[in-house]
Structure 1
Amino acid sequence: MPTPTDLSSRSADEEKVLPKKTGKTIARLKELLYYRPLLLKQHCDMPKFCRERHIYTGYRPNPSSIAYCVRSMFHPTNETFNFWTHFVPLIFLAMRRRDLSIALDLDCQEVATLSAPYFAYSLGCCVLLLCSSIAHLFNCVSIQARHLCFCIDYGAISFYSIAATVAYSHLVSPPHCHGFDAGSSTLYIPAAAATVVLAHIVCCHTRFPHIKYRYVLRTVTYAVPFVLISLPTMMRMSNLIFNVATNETLHDGHYRYSQSGSIPRSSCGIAGALDDFASTKSTKGHCDLASHVFPTYYPAHLLLFLLAAIINMSRFPEKYFPRVFDVVGSSHQWFHIAIALGIIVQSFIVEEAMFDAIDSPGILHSVTWLSNITFLSTMGWLVSVSAILIVTVLIYTSILPC
């Protein structure tokens, strides 16, 4: 039987062995997680390419290590809240997409087809928020890395834009339903793709030091494809306003909720539909999907994106209150919040349109409607545009001055 002396000597031996096996790992974790003030710099101490207008304090050194960038997630710098204001919405949207993908009966071919534009749109949203978060976290690794991060960030905006175009074209506001002829409807996605690629090139070009009014240029550049992409949806909104003004009856269709009230369900498309609604059919037409939320959510989406554009160009409040909002409350942080909320509101519209389409017998059994939703018309556009965006990023990263 071991004596107390033997036990104490054994524990002492274990303490000696433990650092040999895990000492380096523990040291790395302590370096990353142990809270100690970061070495931050002033505006005048930073390279010219790393300065932000009207932001004077809270800069991370450039160059910095990857470990330093990760640590800065939990320290008050002028990029910390830029990271979290898009990373938190990313987690929210990713978890919601996971829940909806579980709820959807994707073994049903018609449901899988109708949900393809929604998942393409979801991918665009997540890529935008992820690339924005990464760009603001790692842009201080080097000057070239800074150019790379933000060129990727601009590309993610274009990627999200073409994903939203796919969702609008197939679900929310098909162009042929809202004043566009067959030829214009066919050119809707190609025109949007060309516009977002051009917008990406212009935004990357604004990173050259001789370009003036770069924030205004970037905002206006992406406002053009936004208006083009939103034209059918804006026409739908104007038709709704006209109908209300003339006291015409709006068609709301039918919608069902799960027992939790959070995830809509359909007798064909959603797993575990309520028995009470198993035989109920929707009479919603393919031109007025999500009509029960569209009049409320779409104006909110437009207002949030308009607010984001104004904030990004005005540089309020840091322009008028120097050094006060460098770390918390700068215009770019409010810009991020408005964009994230606008995307979340827009995602609700796309979700409702998808569920209405699944819930509608006329659409669910329409060969013409389903045949228009293919891999090439959804993910194919995303892959094609992303390839061009990647080439643009590589070219500008190589030619931008460091």
Structure 2
Amino acid sequence: MSMQGSVLAVGKCLACLEFMLLPVWQGIRASSGIGDGWSQGLGRCLRWEPSSPGQGPRMPVFDYPVWLVLCRRGRARLREVCQRGRGVIRLPADILRFKLPQLYDNHQIPKVFREDSIISGYRHPKSSALDCVLSSFHMNNETMNIWTHFLPTWYFLWRFCVLCSTLNFLTDSYTWPLLVYMVLICIYPFTSSCAHTFSTMSPESRHICYFFDYGALSLYSLGCAISYGHYVIPDCWVNSFVHQHFVPIAVGNALFCTSLSCYSRFLELQFPKRSKVMRTVAFIVPFIFDTAPLFYRIVLCCGGNCGSSSALSSHCYHLLFAFLTCFLFTAHLPERLAPGRFDYIGHSHQLFHVSAVVGTHFQMEGVIADMMSRRAWLVGHGATPSFLSTIGVLVVSFALNLGVIGIFSAPLLWKPDQSHAAARERKEQ
């Protein structure tokens, strides 16, 4: 850079600085007149001379070095500018007095709120809804559980929007199984995030929140069955008895999953191991049934009869992460090896969430790849999806699962002993 260019750059920087600080100087000038002195001092530092005879002033020439501007009362003036600027950006007193909510250890909260090998970082067991929302923005033992499912929700929504711009979900019936699947993989992580957020309002709300979480997971398993039954089904299974009854059986599995997992929460305090086993079985049974067509295709591929290799590779990655998810859910590692060391970051439930989301991503890619590559063959063999076997099944299953959740929630919301006591008090009055 030439000398003239360097001087021009410095002049522009000083002009920008004067423009940015002009409102503050005006406030100071109104009270102390320092703004005029500053402008005069800056004017004495710079003068503009023509670069050649007959041309206007273009190049600044310094009478003395710039650092003298700051040395000659510059520090005092900058200090006053900062003091006046501090009043402009002063935070309200309520914000300055804000304190993070208190966190508790496992011996300070009721047993229903405790998690295996998690010692500290618990929220208040009777938090308000606003407290629960705010708790997601400060570190506790549920913060990462909330965000590891809330952020993937937006990722799946983005993928859904991209598919909506490329596929015709309204009139093309072949895309309806994918529509059902995409809706449900957006719902289940969001429901889980809400369950972890509002699970500390009361013992009853904790159970009900996780009832909805289990219901969303069971509907997700139904979405997997619908997409697998229409896109992933092996060629030799098309139009067979299994193919025709695949989705209805999946509806029964979804209701079984919701019912058994909700019932397991009532045994959690007295029989924790039995409750864990029942909940694990509730999710494993639909998984084994849904992935049976995929396992069959993988066996055929091992025998040399492979279909879409890109789809099968994505499905294999999904199965790998599905097994990892099941292991993390049942093993409670690594917090079981070092209780209290992974209370906030790194415990098994967070890893379980991450593994489940990554597995769902590979599953989604495999389903989309199968849908695109097998369309001509499936439609040619009469395997066109119907409204009843896709969207109709989703609506019916959604209503049935809500009914199951309502049945298990009713004893928690309505307590006969309290109602009889209240009625007795009214009679006495």
Q: TM-score, normalised by structure 2?
A: 0.70
Larger radius of gyration between Structure 1 and Structure 2 = 2
2:378 and 2:339 map into 1 onto residues whose CA distance is 56
2:314 and 2:162 map into 1 onto residues whose CA distance is 22
**Cross-structure match for 1:183:** 241
1:169 and 1:44 map into 2 onto residues whose CA distance is 48
Offset of 1:338 from its aligned partner? 0.7
**Cross-structure match for 1:350:** 367
Q: Give the SS at the match of 2:200.
A: coil
CA contact (8 A) 1:178 1:235 kept: no
Distance 1:103 1:35, change over 3 A: farther
Q: Whose RCO is larger (CA < 8 A, sep 6+)?
A: 1
Q: Give the SS at the match of 1:327.
A: coil
Q: Does 1:380 align with 2:397?
A: no
Offset of 1:383 from its aligned partner? 1.2
CA contact (8 A) 2:311 2:365 kept: no
**Cross-structure match for 1:338:** 355
Which one-letter code corresponds to 2:150 in the other structure? F
**Cross-structure match for 2:426:** none
CA contact (8 A) 1:297 1:349 kept: yes
2:224 and 2:349 map into 1 onto residues whose CA distance is 23
Offset of 1:193 from its aligned partner? 1.4
Is 147-156 or 293-302 further displaced after alignment? 293-302
**Cross-structure match for 1:85:** 148
**Cross-structure match for 1:282:** none
Offset of 1:220 from its aligned partner? 2.4
**Cross-structure match for 2:207:** 147
Offset of 1:103 from its aligned partner? 2.0
Distance 1:77 1:35, change over 3 A: farther
Distance 1:51 1:189, change over 3 A: same
Q: TM-score, normalised by structure 1?
A: 0.75
CA contact (8 A) 1:318 1:325 kept: yes
Backbone CA RMSD of aligned residues: 2.6
2:393 and 2:237 map into 1 onto residues whose CA distance is 24
**Cross-structure match for 1:98:** 161
**Which 4+ residue blocks in structure 1 deviate beyond 6 angstroms?**
none
5+ residue gaps in structure 1? 9-25, 251-287
CA contact (8 A) 1:162 1:381 kept: no
Distance 1:82 1:178, change over 3 A: farther
Distance 1:34 1:92, change over 3 A: farther
1:106 and 1:43 map into 2 onto residues whose CA distance is 49
Q: Which structure: greater helix fraction? A: 2
5+ residue gaps in structure 2? 1-25, 31-90, 416-429
2:282 to 203, 213, 221: 221
CA contact (8 A) 1:56 1:322 kept: yes
1:75 and 1:44 map into 2 onto residues whose CA distance is 22
Distance 1:178 1:327, change over 3 A: farther
Offset of 1:339 from its aligned partner? 0.6
2:324 to 284, 300, 307: 307
2:97 and 2:158 map into 1 onto residues whose CA distance is 29
Which one-letter code corresponds to 2:201 in the other structure? V
Distance 1:133 1:232, change over 3 A: same
Which one-letter code corresponds to 2:283 in the other structure? Y
Which one-letter code corresponds to 1:324 in the other structure? R
CA contact (8 A) 1:178 1:232 kept: no
2:174 and 2:333 map into 1 onto residues whose CA distance is 42
Offset of 1:35 from its aligned partner? 7.1
**Cross-structure match for 2:295:** 234
1:124-170 deviation per Cα after TM superposition (whole angstroms, max 9, x unaligned): 11111111010001111222111111000000110000011110111
**Cross-structure match for 1:21:** none
2:108 and 2:361 map into 1 onto residues whose CA distance is 38
**Cross-structure match for 2:229:** 169
Which one-letter code corresponds to 2:370 in the other structure? A
**Cross-structure match for 1:200:** 258
1:93 and 1:137 map into 2 onto residues whose CA distance is 20
Q: Give the SS at the match of 1:63.
A: coil
2:208 and 2:141 map into 1 onto residues whose CA distance is 19
**Cross-structure match for 2:179:** 119
1:125 and 1:51 map into 2 onto residues whose CA distance is 28
Offset of 1:34 from its aligned partner? 9.7
1:338-397 deviation per Cα after TM superposition (whole angstroms, max 9, x unaligned): 111111110001111222245x3x556x48333xx1211101111111111111111112
Q: Give the SS at the match of 1:306.
A: helix
Question: Sequence identity of aligned pairs in percent?
Answer: 30
CA contact (8 A) 2:150 2:193 kept: yes
2:110 to 47, 54, 71: 47
